[in-house]
Amino acid sequence: MTTFDLAEAVLLGILLVTALAITRARRLFVAAMLGGLFSLVTASLFVLLDAVDVAFTEAAVGAGISTVLFITALALTNSREATTPRRRVIPAGLVAILATAGLIYASLDLPGVGDPNSPVQTHPVTDIYLEESQQDLHVPNTVTGVLASYRGYDTLGEVVVIFTAGIGVLLLLLGPRRPADETRDRAYLQAEYLVLRVVSKTLMPFILLFALYVLLHGEYGPGGGFQAGVIFAAGFILYTLMFGLAAVQRVLPMRTLVVLVAVGVLIYAGVGVATMALGGEFLDYNEFNPRNPSGGQLAGILLIEVGVGVTVAAVMTAMFYSLVRRGVRR
Amino acid sequence: MIATHYTYWIIFGLMMIGLYAVMSHGNLVKKLIGLNVFQVAVFMFFISLGRVDDGSPPIITEGIDVYSHPLPHVLILTAIVVGVATTSVGVAIAIRIYEAYGTVEEDTALARDAADEGAE
């Protein structure tokens, strides 16, 4: 048994125990925090499986943003769960056990984990992404190259989905709401969490700087627009948690955010339209610099990563703002 | 078989624990947390398919020849962010349901609907 196997087995074991604890926890705050732990351990597992870019995103999104999202949801609803009636447990358990058995049976046909002769590794596209990309794009991080250039249409679609989800949340939550409990919010804002406040204020510039670094360095190391966007948003969410919505809105008002949500998608689609105007196909970055196509690719990739980052950061922050607004009386 | 496939099996177990939480629990927030577990397990499955023995992260460096496949990484990287965006739509709907019914328990809300229909 190698160190890799041992580390993987330990992480998977922790994940199993955590997942079971999540389903059993009646106090939903416990379930939400365990969900954060689950994501953090998953991020470590992704590092072990060589997926550094994914690990980055999972750590920022799973352990950061979605945990905060669930906790805010609990603050606005009810944090205790009713006991699950037996008539629901037995059929659901049966379905889960049968489905697991079916999947395990089907997995016997899969190549083993890490098999160098598996169809994934021998498919012609593997060579294109790992070797030809170095002549076409000169982008060492192939994940960024594939995401922004080879599969640029796909990524545009994903950004539009995020944009749509953001609009959906804003429409659901910005409407009229029932009167909230004012005293509770005020008590929270007046509380003196001195250490937390000083630490988060000191961290703030570093978080934003790091997000910029991740955005601009995504072509050479792990990083890119999605990661940078969620790190930006995590910074602003942290600030909102510590200092309240009024303070953070002085820097980044909701109105600006709503505009930025659309600006990112427009930058991305605009790059596509620009390449068409220059005589190429939609999102064919070679057109930016026909004499030096890989230079044009570099410029195009950077531009659309900025677009992705803007939309992702704005959607995540706007969603959190609208959740918080729901509970605070203006 | 066990040595090469156990990763998949544990991942399937995690997926189904998530699915079980979605199916058996009546609390909408708990359902969303369960859905998250399910989703993350699917991500793990994809990433494990792209791994190659003795490989490196797919960032091209001199002196390294074996890399894991970048495509699953690309798909899952975007899926994570899309996942949190759609989860928050779910959370927003749960909050609106709570404001309308005073509960996020499926059974209580459905019983209230049934009672309303009976009263009409």
Distance CA A286, CA A188 (A): 54
Tokens found for residue A294: 């890989």
Q: Is the pLDDT of residue B9 over 90?
A: yes
Amino acid at B44: M
- In the block, which residue shows the tokens 């409407």? A175
B23 and A88 in contact by Cβ < 8 A? yes
Least CB–CB distance from A140: residue in B59, B74, B91: B59
Distance CA A173, CA B96 (A): 8
By C-alpha distance, the chain A residue nearest B32 is: A70
pLDDT band at B81 (very low <50, low <70, confident <90, very high): very high
A230 close contact with B: CB closer than 8 A: yes
pTM for the predicted model, two decimal places: 0.91
User: Chain B closest CA to A278's CA: distance in Å?
Assistant: 28
Q: Tell me the CA distances in angstroms from B76 to A11, A41, A89, A112, A261, one per residue in order.
A: 19, 16, 31, 20, 22
Q: Cα Rg for chain A, rounded, in angstroms?
A: 23
Contact A176, A324 (CB under 8 A): no
Distance CA A74, CA A61 (A): 18
Q: Taking residues B28-32, what's their average pLDDT? A: 94
Minimal CA–CA distance to B2: which of A235, A14, A112?
A: A112
- In the block, which residue shows the tokens 């629901």? A88
Distance CA A207, CA A247 (A): 18
Listed by number, the residues of chain A in 69-128 with a beta carbon closer than 8 Å to a beta carbon of chain B are 69-70, 72-74, 76-78, 81-82, 84-85, 88-89, 91-93, 95-97, 99-100, 103-104, 107-108, 110, 112-116, 118, 120-121, 125-126
Least CB–CB distance from B105: residue in A82, A125, A166: A82
Q: What is the largest distance, in Å, between two alpha-carbon atoms of chain A?
A: 70
Distance of CA A234 to the CA centre of its chain: 10
* Model pLDDT, residue A329: 45
Contact A299, A289 (CB under 8 A): yes
User: Chain B closest CA to A110's CA: distance in Å?
Assistant: 8
Distance CA A108, CA A61 (A): 33
Contacts of B46 (CB under 8 A, 6+ apart): B72, B75, B76
Q: Tell me the CA distances in angstroms from A221 to A22, A268, B58, one per residue in order.
A: 34, 22, 10
Contact B26, B107 (CB under 8 A): yes
Q: Tell me the CA distances in angstroms from A68 to A74, A238, B62, one per residue in order.
A: 10, 9, 41
Least CB–CB distance from B76: residue in A54, A114, A118: A54
Distance CA A71, CA A324 (A): 11
At A24-47, the pLDDT tens digits run 999 999 999 999 999 999 999 999
Distance CA A253, CA A246 (A): 9
Least CB–CB distance from B24: residue in A84, A121, A145: A84
A147 close contact with B: CB closer than 8 A: yes
- In the block, which residue shows the tokens 């994903």? A158
Minimal CA–CA distance to B74: which of A330, A308, A256?
A: A308
Q: Is the pLDDT of residue B29 over 80?
A: yes
Chain A environment of B60 (Cβ under 8 Å): 130, 134, 140-142
Provide the 3-class DSSP secondary structure of residue A110. coil
* Model pLDDT, residue A190: 53
Provide the 3-class DSSP secondary structure of residue B59. strand
Low-confidence ranges of chain A (pLDDT < 70): 1, 177-192, 328-330
